[in-house]
Amino acid sequence: MTPDELRDIQARAKAELAKIDTAHTEENENRLRAEFERRGWKLTRSGSGKSGFTLVDPGRTRISGLTLADAQNLFKKIAKS
């Protein structure tokens, strides 16, 4: 791996962490929880940290290990359908 490749990987990792940190606010968590509930879904905190969320669809299928950024991206797809 070249130094340029390593810098590129580090930059992409920092950008992903920034997305997680930006999405992870109490206000955003409460907003997403309410928006999911309006559509019959349930967003719950399943652990500590920024990737400790579980999403349950109306059919009771569970998606675990989500960050709020993940949940936000999934909500955008759900809202379009």
pLDDT digits (tens, 9 = 90+) for 23-76: 778 888 899 999 999 999 999 988 766 668 999 999 999 999 888 888 988 999
Which of 80, 48, 81 is closest to 67 using CA atoms?
A: 48
User: In this predicted model, what pLDDT tens digit does every residue of 1-27 receive, in sequence order?
Assistant: 899 999 999 999 998 888 777 777 888
- pLDDT over 90 percentage in the chain: 49
Closest by Cα among 43, 55, 51 to 16:
51
